[in-house]
């Protein structure tokens, strides 16, 4: 928004006039003194010695007022805990853009761009993320936007038109993914002592921030797991004076042999860039689950949530399938679904169902919809896995 400010300057000039008095007689003029007095004065002056000429008084010079030197701000020792302090804020919106341009080991061109927008609201324990990725060399490799909502323990993800909305486990939350957390928290930085302070300080999205510059010594330890002699990096980072969290950073990474690390492991030569900017800190950010998300993640044939044992957790579910996990033995899970689905009006197909040891296959039908359940022991976790599919 542009705003025009008009300034009016009012100047007042005070005119002072000297007032003349009434009829007053003029004072006697000194030139009217008798000539005799003048002669006597001259004679007296000749008889007196000449008086010494007095030098005019010299004014004592006033020394100029010294301008106080600004106090040097005490340097702040950065810490990795400070730079990952976003979760201490009440709310924020964060925009990250990253791109890769170069070639892979076979000489094929790499030219892609991605964007991540995240929102956070502490009061509602709510998070929202939108991720997009575009491959400019091969449009078919571009990925559809992925949108994720997490409010409390409820987590929904839109995985493209083919899959639609689905519920996922908070244990599989992308908000907890180490690579994503590294980029969205400012945790990409290490060896903070090598950062160089740049003055003056700046405001980033209205937040007073200290400005630093860095090179590969401050980031490669986090972004690359192997020795990266042929990788160079440079950039700028701004860190909030109050709170120590990152408000903005820009980074350029040059690869000349090796790998692009977590950004693009296929790259052997080229340039990668990343921009991070925090916005709307502690502002009113409302995060609500879309109605279509709740409806789309509900399995066909069920008016409400898909039934599951009390201790069970959802690994993933959509309109057509669900993957659950429970600590109950396989036999108890089978007994639970026999009872719960019958109460909901589903009819069990005994001929299409079987049970053998730690694995059971069940089939139910209702209103032209067929529900298939596979209940088995997951040896890797020691829990019972429930896979449901509707047709």
Angle 90-94-96 from CA coordinates, rounded to 5°: 160
pLDDT band at 223 (very low <50, low <70, confident <90, very high): confident
**Higher per-residue confidence, 134 vs 177:** 134
Band of residue 38 on the pLDDT scale cut at 50, 70, 90: very low
The answer to whether 114 and 183 are in contact (CB under 8 A) is no
Give the chain's mean pLDDT. Answer: 78
Q: Is 261 buried (19+), middle (13-18) or exposed (0-12) by CB count in 10 A?
A: buried
The first and second tokens of residue 289, run together, are: 């689950």
What pLDDT score was predicted for residue 191? Answer: 73
Q: Which two tokens stand for residue 13?
A: 């000039």
- The phi, psi pair for 307, rounded to 5°, reads -65, 145
Residues 88-135 have pLDDT tens digits of 899 999 999 999 999 998 999 999 999 999 999 999 999 999 999 999
d(Cα 186, Cα 189) in Å, to the nearest integer? 7
pLDDT at 242: 87
Phi/psi of residue 87, each to 5°? -65, -10
pLDDT of residue 140 exceeding 90, the answer is no
Q: Which residues contact 267 (CB under 8 A, 6 or more apart)?
A: 100, 102, 103, 104, 110, 255, 259, 260
pLDDT, tens digit, 9 for 90 and up, residues 274-293: 999 999 999 999 999 888 88
pLDDT value for 344: 93
Does the pLDDT at position 172 exceed 90?
no
Which one, of 202, 165, 211, 201, lies nearest residue 316 by Cα? 165
Tokens linked to 93: 């919106």
Domains and CATH numbers, the chain: 80-279 (2.50.20), 298-390 (no CATH)
The neighbour count for residue 375, using CB atoms within 10 Å, is 26
Q: Using an 8 Å Cβ cutoff, are 260 and 100 in contact?
A: yes
For CA atoms 50, 51, 52, 53, the dihedral sign is negative
DSSP code, position 286: -
CB atoms closer than 10 angstroms to residue 343: 9
CB 192 within 8 A of CB 80: yes
Note if the pTM is more than 0.75.
no
Give 159's pLDDT tier (boundaries 50, 70, 90). Answer: confident
pLDDT score for 28 = 43
Question: For residues 72 and 63, what is the distance between their CA atoms, to the nearest angstrom?
Answer: 26
Q: Residue 21, exposed/middle/buried by CB under 10 A (0-12, 13-18, 19+)?
A: exposed
pLDDT in tens, 294-320: 777 788 888 777 898 988 888 888 888
pLDDT confidence of residue 80: 60
The pLDDT value recorded for residue 348 is 95
Task: Return d(Cα 19, Cα 16) in angstroms, integer.
Answer: 9
Residues 6+ apart with CB under 8 A from 291: none
Cα–Cα dist 281/25, whole Å: 84
Nearest CA to 322 among 253, 390, 224?
390
């Amino acid at each position: 928004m542009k705003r025009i400010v008009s300034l009016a300057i009012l100047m007042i000039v005070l005119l002072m006039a000297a007032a003349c008095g009434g009829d007053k007689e003029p004072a006697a003029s000194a030139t009217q003194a008798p000539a005799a007095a003048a002669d006597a004065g001259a004679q007296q002056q000749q008889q007196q010695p000449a008086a010494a000429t007095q030098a005019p008084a010299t004014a004592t010079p006033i020394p100029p007022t010294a301008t106080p030197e600004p106090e040097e701000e005490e340097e702040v020792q950065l810490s990795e805990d400070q730079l990952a302090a976003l979760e201490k804020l009440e709310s924020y919106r964060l925009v990250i853009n990253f791109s890769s341009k170069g070639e892979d080991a076979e000489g094929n061109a790499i030219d892609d761009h991605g964007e991540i927008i995240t929102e956070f609201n502490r009061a509602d324990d709510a998070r929202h993320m939108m991720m997009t990725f575009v491959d400019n060399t091969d449009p078919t490799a571009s990925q559809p936007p992925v949108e994720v909502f997490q409010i409390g323990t409820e987590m929904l993800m839109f995985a493209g038109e083919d899959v639609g909305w689905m519920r996922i486990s908070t244990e599989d939350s992308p908000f907890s993914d180490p690579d994503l957390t590294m980029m969205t928290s400012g945790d990409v930085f290490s060896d903070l002592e090598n950062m160089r302070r740049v003055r003056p300080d700046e405001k980033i999205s209205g937040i007073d921030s200290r400005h630093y510059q860095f090179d590969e010594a401050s980031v490669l330890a986090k972004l690359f797991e192997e020795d990266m002699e042929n990788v160079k990096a440079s950039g700028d980072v701004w860190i909030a004076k109050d709170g120590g969290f990152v408000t903005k950073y820009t980074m350029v990474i040059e690869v000349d042999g090796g790998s692009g690390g977590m950004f693009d492991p296929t790259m052997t030569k080229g340039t990668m860039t990343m921009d991070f900017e925090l916005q709307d800190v502690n502002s009113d950010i409302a995060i609500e689950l879309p109605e279509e998300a709740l409806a789309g993640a509900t399995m066909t044939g069920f008016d409400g949530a898909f039934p599951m044992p009390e201790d069970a957790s959802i690994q993933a579910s959509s309109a057509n399938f669900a993957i659950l996990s429970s600590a109950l033995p396989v036999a108890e899970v089978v007994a639970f679904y026999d009872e719960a689905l019958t109460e909901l009006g589903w009819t069990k197909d005994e001929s299409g169902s079987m049970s053998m040891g730690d694995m059971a296959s069940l089939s139910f039908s209702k209103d032209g919809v067929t529900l298939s359940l596979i209940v088995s022991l997951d040896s890797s976790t020691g829990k019972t896995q429930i896979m449901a599919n509707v047709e």
